[in-house]
């Protein structure tokens, strides 16, 4: 035990250092995007961002080329349509019907800026937009001219009856229609259907084929994101993932912006169902095709005036619409927070965008228990306290056995110290004599390690819950604790944690080795310093756990040492 417990504390210290640097990197100020870059990004449409042959998606026009900006639309007459529901504020461009801005009024940027909603989609700032459109498929015997104007891609110009839409009081749905009129009698109505209280938006492309020939085409949905300009911190660049993710054939894959350039791996670009998404801290946007359709997925990089943009998209099966008939392409767009229960209902695997990393097998059950507790107490601070009590009860008897072992070790401390002095210059003889005492007194020298071993995985799992769970973002507790996901503004909890750790050391058996004694003396100071920058919720867990451990260990020490 003398050699193992310092090692475990140092392991925990190292893990804490990694988490601290992660927290620093993730909450570091983001650099401002240069104005010149923003102007470059927005000055020219993202030409070629419709899936092409180079993106790994079959070309379906007669000439092997996608209709260009000049063929389908011009910059003149482009309007911005503003849409407001109780939880979403969209700006939709009549150019392609793209969602160019998406704000979340119920999720402010910070507690100091409650009137400033979190902005997810943002063409001007991040070149981050949700695009969708149609592609006409070539038919044998028709030339390119006869196909012109048969389908609007995301560069086409739509018409709108009004520029402002607001969900009426008492209404459960808001429909925003956009109309595109083709040259050959084809009319496409693009609709966004908003539902009260929901971050899911239904998107439709209704094709009315009044041309004299069969209409054959597909729908594509894609998310475009500009370069990741976030800072990476000073240790291995660890922070919450910013990039893409897709799901197909029961497989969830994250895709960095760099990997999008190469396209998706062969064999993973087709599936029945699935979805594509762009991830940011706490928030996600995702296109979710009908889950019974066979969908083709793709990724690529485009450049507008030298500024890269990264695309992750999904393409529907081909539809054929007879002359004089109509049919509708349907899909769903999620733009909002990573709410686990809601995401599970939208599509299989969408909840995996809540990225707990390698500790998901611990974080998920921890968060499940926390949600159950929160449903009763309605406060995340008290939820963490009751979670700590629950974990302490769960491991009460193993911990009690460990504390009994430590109490017996403390009772044996004078004998162990005497052995240490007697065999000061003979480590082998000292070890042999100590093992003889352990055998005679039926002591397990590793028995005191269990409480530390229990804390390490719970500590790591809870850290990622606090880092990734949007439910705890800006969650208050009491007094000055207005946000448990950030550091304690007055450092009260870290100081209490350091004091409790010092007191807990006094209850433990003293270290025989002088070097280990010195290490243990400095551990409370080092941990206190590190915990100054940890989220208050995590420090709260550690403080409560320490206080409960002290109470349990003090009782057992008094009971055992009192009879020793």
At 198-226, the pLDDT tens digits run 999 999 999 999 999 999 999 999 999 99
Assigned domain for 388 exists = yes
Among 211, 222, 209, CA closest to 153: 222
The confidence score (pLDDT) of residue 561 equals 60
Asked whether residue 303 falls in the same domain as residue 443, the answer is no
Asked whether residue 311 falls in the same domain as residue 374, the answer is no
Assigned domain for 171 exists = yes
The confidence score (pLDDT) of residue 133 equals 96
Assigned domain for 469 exists = yes
Q: How many domains does the chain have?
A: 2
Asked whether residue 349 falls in the same domain as residue 435, the answer is no
Last residue of a domain, one of 334, 355, 376: 355
Asked whether residue 18 falls in the same domain as residue 38, the answer is no
The confidence score (pLDDT) of residue 230 equals 53
Name the helix (H) or strand (E) containing 110: strand 99-110
Name the helix (H) or strand (E) containing 69: helix 69-72
Instruction: Copy the structure tokens of residue 126.
Output: 């991040």
Assigned domain for 106 exists = yes
Assigned domain for 509 exists = yes
- Specify the higher pLDDT residue, 92 or 507: 92
Quick check: 296 and 269 in contact, CB under 8 A? yes
Asked whether residue 224 falls in the same domain as residue 342, the answer is yes
The confidence score (pLDDT) of residue 4 equals 45
Report, as an integer, the average pLDDT of 18-36: 44
CA 61 and chain centroid, separation:
38
Asked whether residue 385 falls in the same domain as residue 302, the answer is no
Asked whether residue 102 falls in the same domain as residue 224, the answer is yes
CA 35 to CA 57: how far, in whole Å? 34
Report, as an integer, the average pLDDT of 526-552: 90
CA 551 to CA 400: how far, in whole Å? 11
CA 101 to CA 38: how far, in whole Å? 14
CA 338 to CA 265: how far, in whole Å? 26
Last residue of a domain, one of 310, 330, 355: 355
Q: What is the CA radius of gyration of the chain?
A: 30
Asked whether residue 369 falls in the same domain as residue 339, the answer is no
CATH of the domain at 185: 2.70.98.90
Report, as an integer, the average pLDDT of 55-59: 36
Note the pTM of the prediction, 2 decimals.
0.79
The mean-pLDDT minimum among 109-113, 395-399, 501-505 falls in 395-399
Last residue of a domain, one of 355, 384, 404: 355
Asked whether residue 369 falls in the same domain as residue 335, the answer is no
Q: What is the pLDDT of residues 247-291, one digit of tens each?
A: 987 789 999 998 998 888 877 788 898 999 999 989 999 999 999
Q: What is the pLDDT of residues 85-131, one digit of tens each?
A: 999 999 999 999 999 999 999 999 988 888 999 999 999 888 999 99
Query: Binning pLDDT at 50, 70 and 90, where does residue 422 land?
Result: confident
CA 494 to CA 487: how far, in whole Å? 9
Asked whether residue 76 falls in the same domain as residue 103, the answer is yes
**What domain range is 174 assigned to?**
31-46+58-355
Quick check: 26 and 281 in contact, CB under 8 A? yes
Instruction: Copy the structure tokens of residue 450.
Output: 């269990």
Query: At CA 383, angle to CA 380 and CA 384, rounded to 5?
Result: 95
Asked whether residue 457 falls in the same domain as residue 502, the answer is yes
- b/e for 509-531, b at 16 or more Cβ within 10 A? bbbbeeebeebbeebbebbbebb
Strand partners of residue 189: 179, 206
CA 104 to CA 117: how far, in whole Å? 5
Assigned domain for 51 exists = no
Assigned domain for 14 exists = yes
CA 456 to CA 452: how far, in whole Å? 6
- b/e for 532-546, b at 16 or more Cβ within 10 A? bbbbbbbbbbbbbbb
Asked whether residue 8 falls in the same domain as residue 154, the answer is no
- Specify the higher pLDDT residue, 517 or 94: 94
CA 527 to CA 504: how far, in whole Å? 13
CA 416 to CA 430: how far, in whole Å? 9
Residue 395, phi then psi, degrees to nearest 5: -110, 25
Assigned domain for 52 exists = no
């Amino acid at each position: 035990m003398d050699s193992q417990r310092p090692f475990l504390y140092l392991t925990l210290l190292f893990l804490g250092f990694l988490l601290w640097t992660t927290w620093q990197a993730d909450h570091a100020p983001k650099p401002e995007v240069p104005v010149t870059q923003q102007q470059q990004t927005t000055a020219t449409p993202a030409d070629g961002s419709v899936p092409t042959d180079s993106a790994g998606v079959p070309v379906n026009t007669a000439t092997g080329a996608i209709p260009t900006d000049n063929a389908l639309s011009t910059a003149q007459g482009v309007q911005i349509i503003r849409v407001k529901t109780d939880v979403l504020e969209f700006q939709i461009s009549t150019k392609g019907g793209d969602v160019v801005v998406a704000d979340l009024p119920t999720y402010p940027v910070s507690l100091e800026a409650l009137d400033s909603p979190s902005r997810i989609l943002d063409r001007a700032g991040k070149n981050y937009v949700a695009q969708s459109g149609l592609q006409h498929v070539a038919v044998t015997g028709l030339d390119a001219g006869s196909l012109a104007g048969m389908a609007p891609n995301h560069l086409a110009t739509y018409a709108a009856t009004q520029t402002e839409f607001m969900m009426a009081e008492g209404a459960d749905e808001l429909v925003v229609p956009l109309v595109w009129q083709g040259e050959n009698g084809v009319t496409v109505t693009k609709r966004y259907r908003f539902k009260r209280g929901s971050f899911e938006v239904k998107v439709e492309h209704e094709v009315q084929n009044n041309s004299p020939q069969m209409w054959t085409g597909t729908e594509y949905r894609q998310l475009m994101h500009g370069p990741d300009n976030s800072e990476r911190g000073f240790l291995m660049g660890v922070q919450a993932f910013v990039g893409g993710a897709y799901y197909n054939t029961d497989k969830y894959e994250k895709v960095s912006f760099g990997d999008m350039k190469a396209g998706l791996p062969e064999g993973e670009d087709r599936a029945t169902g699935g979805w594509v998404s762009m991830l940011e801290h706490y928030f996600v946007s995702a296109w979710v095709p009908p889950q019974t359709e066979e969908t083709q997925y793709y990724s690529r990089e485009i450049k507008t005036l030298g500024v890269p943009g990264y695309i992750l998209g999904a393409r529907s099966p081909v539809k054929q619409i007879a002359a004089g008939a109509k049919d509708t392409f349907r899909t769903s767009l999620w733009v909002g927070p990573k709410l686990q229960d809601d995401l599970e209902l939208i599509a299989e695997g969408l909840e995996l965008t809540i990225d707990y990393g390698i500790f998901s097998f611990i974080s998920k059950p921890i968060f499940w228990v926390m949600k159950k507790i929160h449903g009763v107490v309605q406060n995340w601070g008290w939820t963490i306290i009751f979670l700590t009590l629950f974990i302490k009860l769960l491991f009460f008897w193993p911990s009690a056995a460990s504390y009994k072992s430590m109490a017996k070790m403390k009772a044996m401390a004078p004998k162990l110290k005497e052995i240490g002095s007697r065999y000061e210059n003979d480590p082998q003889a000292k070890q042999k004599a100590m093992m003889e005492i352990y055998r005679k007194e039926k002591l397990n020298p590793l028995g005191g390690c269990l409480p530390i071993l229990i804390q390490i995985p719970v500590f790591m799992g809870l850290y990622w819950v606090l880092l990734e769970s949007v439910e705890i973002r800006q969650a208050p507790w009491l007094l000055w604790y207005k946000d448990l996901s950030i550091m304690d503004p007055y450092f009260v909890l870290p100081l209490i944690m350091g004091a409790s750790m010092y007191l807990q050391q006094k209850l433990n058996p003293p270290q025989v080795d002088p070097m280990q004694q010195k290490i243990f003396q400095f551990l409370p100071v080092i941990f206190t310093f590190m915990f100054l920058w940890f989220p208050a919720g995590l420090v709260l867990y550690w403080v409560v756990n320490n206080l409960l451990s002290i109470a349990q260990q003090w009782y057992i020490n008094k009971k055992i040492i009192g009879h020793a």
